[in-house]
Amino acid sequence: MCDIIWCKKEKNGKPCDTINYLDPYFFWNWEGTISCAECGTVYFIHMIQGFMYIGPEERPGEKADIMPLYADKPYEGYANYQPGVEGRTRPYQCKPRKELLGVADMVKFSIRGRPVRGWRPQPPSAGLAGSFGFHWDIQKLAPEVWEQYQQKLAKGEVKDW
């Protein structure tokens, strides 16, 4: 699993509270410095076989060897830095197509025209501790998609395959 550095450095009178996600493959055996994506504080870590042997320790004045892969701020609605944000998160060179640099593709219907539940944001669950029921009533929870589905049905755009 990916390790993190939770930056709590005070900046402008309040803690930074940014979670910097480290790349699990890269960090299995690794020693060096990483900067926080939000405030730029430099931390030193020494990881052996995926175990954080030393750190994270602040190293003021040092230059960071690398940047985190991804970072987000849970107390601010999960505002985040996606991979490849210049000066914040690590660039990655193997992005295969320019289309992939945008936001995730959101579809509301499958290729045969029936509704899928794949978009965001989702309405929060009603349950306790992350509990979800076993049936998602599209008519109740996404009436606009239900309406679109009815139109598709009427136009004969819903197929079996």
Partner 1 sequence: MAKDPRVTRIEELPGPKSKGEMEEFKMPYEEYCKKLFDVGNEHTKPTALKGIKWLSCTMYIFTPHAVANLAELGAEVIKIEMPRMGDAMRHTSPFNECYLYPLHDTRPMTGTGLGFTNANVNKYFITMDYHVPEMVDVFYGLVKKYDGLTELYRPGTFDKWKMSYRYLSEINPRFIYVWGGGFGYGPKIFGGSYDILGQAHAGLASITGMHEFMGGHCTKQTNWVIDWQSGNLITASVMAAIHHRRKTGLGTMIEFSQVQVPTRMSGYSFPLYGKFGVVRQRWGNWDTQLAAHGIILCGKSDFPDAENPQDKFCARYAMVSAFQDADFKELCAITGMKTLYEKYKAHNQRAEGEAQVEIYGALEKWAADKSRSEVCKILNDAGLLAEPVRNDREAYESPHYRERGTIRWLDDPLFGDMVLHAGYSSGLLEKTPRRINWHWRPVGADNKKVYRDMLGVPLTKIKEWYDKAYI
Q: What residues make contact with partner 1 under the rule CB under 8 A?
A: 1-2, 24, 28, 49-50, 77-78, 96-97, 100, 104-105, 109-112, 114-122, 124-125, 127-132, 134-136, 138, 161
Separation of alpha carbons 106 and 119, rounded Å: 5
Residue nearer to partner 1 on the CB measure, 87 or 159: 159
CB of 90 to partner 1, least distance (A): 14
CB of 52 to partner 1, least distance (A): 13
Residue closest to 84 by CA, chosen among 102, 106, 104, 105: 102
Residue nearer to partner 1 on the CB measure, 42 or 71: 71
Residue nearer to partner 1 on the CB measure, 3 or 58: 3
CB of 47 to partner 1, least distance (A): 13
CB atoms within 10 A of CB 107: 10
CB of 81 to partner 1, least distance (A): 14
Dihedral class, residue 17 (left if φ above 0, else alpha if ψ from -120 to 50, else beta) = left
Separation of alpha carbons 148 and 154, rounded Å: 10
CB of 89 to partner 1, least distance (A): 13
Distances (CA, A) of 52 to 2, 4, 34, 39, 44: 11, 10, 14, 22, 11
Residue nearer to partner 1 on the CB measure, 61 or 127: 127
Residue nearer to partner 1 on the CB measure, 14 or 135: 135
Separation of alpha carbons 17 and 110, rounded Å: 39
CB 142 within 8 A of CB 118: no
